[in-house]
């Protein structure tokens, strides 16, 4: 085994209230670490997985990190190169924090770095990472993978063509993310969604999405706050998260600009104008879970603009 590389890929908040499958942003922690080493044994292998408690397969084709890495290697004509991957899971499964996306994002960047960066930009690595995450939930979408890999706040105009764009990050804005220790799988969370959307709700959601984008470009915190309102997905998924509306009310009462479900849940995020408010908001959100004897973790973070990084 020869010297290798280590990549950190951060957790993400997908949907960002009004942008179902079209918006996501990265936070500083938690995240996953992916290590890649050259090996004298031909082919890609997953040599070690930690922090997963037996939940992740070692078969490359069935593992989000492994499949993403394999697709990249095939694209580069390097599928027979001897490479071992080590996956260090440092974030919970079914948390709504993009766990599978972080592994896929970290894996493609690790392979690219190990091979001397044959692919120049993270944007060019994105399709392979999305293919990897698709193994986890069956959907081809980039709202977690893109921000984990590329950092910042990402808008996805089209998941099918991966027409993705960075949005401005207003100075000082912070996220408070609370993860209650219950599991909500993305597949299950998608099953509760109706295929029918009312015209009234569609108009409201479109207005909120447009308002959020304009607010980010103009650093208009009031507009951002008014726009962080999900009238389609949140009402359907809230029932999967105990005390969701109490947590949301606590966040808004503590000064948050807005609050909603992170990805498929059960994590709940809030955005605030600065770190001090974000800390107070996070503690208020936590208190609801503490009062109801639900263990939870709090992450207070600026928007992570780096994405996956070489450690």
Q: Where are the domains of the chain?
A: 4-167, 174-302
Q: How confident is the model at residue 82 (pLDDT cuts 50, 70, 90)?
A: very high
Q: What number is the average pLDDT over the span 205-218? A: 98
First-to-final CA distance of the chain? 19
3-state secondary structure of 83: strand
With 50 as the cut, is the pLDDT of residue 276 above it? yes
With 90 as the cut, is the pLDDT of residue 183 above it? no
Q: What number is the average pLDDT over the span 235-244? A: 94
Q: What is the pLDDT of residues 96-119, one digit of tens each?
A: 999 999 999 999 999 999 999 999
pLDDT more than 90, % of the chain: 90
Q: How far apart are CA 152 and CA 33, in angstroms?
A: 19
Q: How far apart are CA 205 and CA 213, in angstroms?
A: 12
State the pLDDT at residue 310.
Answer: 96
pLDDT more than 70, % of the chain: 98
> At which residue do the structure tokens 């993403």 appear?
68
With 70 as the cut, is the pLDDT of residue 283 above it? yes
Q: What is the pTM of this model?
A: 0.95
Q: Which of 55, 308, 95 is nearest to 183 (CA)?
A: 95
Q: Which of 170, 124, 174, 131 is nearest to 150 (CA)?
A: 124
Show Cβ contacts of residue 21 under 8 Å, excluding neighbours closer than 6 positions: 14, 15, 141, 143, 156, 159
Write down the mean pLDDT value for the chain.
95
> At which residue do the structure tokens 């220790």 appear?
181
Residue 305 is inside which H or E element, if any? none
Q: Which of 146, 175, 126, 138 is nearest to 23 (CA)?
A: 146
Q: What number is the average pLDDT over the span 254-266? A: 97
Q: Which of 135, 118, 146, 128 is nearest to 71 (CA)?
A: 128
Q: What number is the average pLDDT over the span 126-139? A: 92
Q: Which CATH code for domain 174-302?
A: 3.30.70.890
Name the CATH code of domain 4-167 (choices 3.30.230.10, 3.40.50.300, 1.20.1290.10, 3.40.50.970).
3.30.230.10
| 8 Å CB contact between 142 and 21 | no
3-state secondary structure of 231: coil
Q: How far apart are CA 54 and CA 31, in angstroms?
A: 18
Residues recognised as catalytic? 133, 186
Least confidently predicted of 102-106, 134-138, 169-173, 276-280: 134-138
Q: How far apart are CA 269 and CA 306, in angstroms?
A: 20
Q: What is the pLDDT of residues 41-71, one digit of tens each?
A: 999 999 999 998 778 999 999 999 999 999 9
Q: How confident is the model at residue 190 (pLDDT cuts 50, 70, 90)?
A: confident
Among positive and negative, which fits the CA dihedral 163, 141, 235, 182? Answer: negative
| Strand-strand pairing, 23-38 and 163-167 | unpaired
Q: How confident is the model at residue 1 (pLDDT cuts 50, 70, 90)?
A: very low
């Amino acid at each position: 085994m020869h010297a290798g590389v280590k990549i950190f890929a951060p957790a993400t908040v997908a949907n960002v209230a009004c942008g179902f499958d079209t918006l996501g942003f990265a936070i500083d922690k938690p995240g996953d670490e992916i290590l890649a080493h050259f090996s004298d044994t031909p082919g890609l292998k997953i040599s070690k997985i930690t922090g997963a408690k037996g939940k992740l397969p070692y078969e490359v084709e069935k593992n989000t990190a492994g499949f993403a890495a394999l697709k990249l290697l095939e694209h580069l004509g390097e599928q027979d190169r001897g490479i071992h991957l080590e996956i260090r899971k440092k974030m919970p499964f079914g948390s709504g924090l993009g766990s599978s996306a972080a592994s896929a994002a970290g894996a493609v960047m690790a392979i690219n770095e190990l091979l001397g960066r044959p692919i120049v930009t993270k944007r060019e690595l994105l399709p392979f990472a999305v293919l990897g995450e698709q193994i986890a939930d069956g959907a081809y979408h980039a709202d977690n993978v893109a921000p984990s890999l590329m950092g910042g706040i990402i808008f996805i105009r089209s998941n099918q063509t991966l027409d993705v764009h960075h949005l401005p990050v207003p100075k000082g804005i912070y996220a408070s993310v609370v993860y209650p220790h219950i599991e909500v799988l993305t597949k299950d969370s998608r099953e509760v969604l109706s295929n029918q959307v009312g015209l009234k709700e569609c108009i409201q959601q479109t207005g909120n999405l447009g308002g959020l984008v304009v607010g980010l470009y103009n650093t208009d915190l009031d507009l951002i706050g008014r726009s962080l309102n999900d009238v389609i997905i949140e009402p359907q998924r809230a029932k999967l998260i105990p005390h969701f509306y109490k947590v949301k009310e606590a966040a808004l009462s503590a000064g948050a600009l807005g609050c909603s479900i992170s990805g498929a849940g059960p994590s709940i995020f809030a955005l605030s104008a600065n770190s001090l408010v974000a800390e107070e908001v996070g503690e208020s959100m936590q208190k609801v879970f503490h009062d109801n004897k639900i263990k939870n973790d709090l992450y207070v973070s600026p928007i992570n603009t780096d994405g996956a990084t070489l450690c």
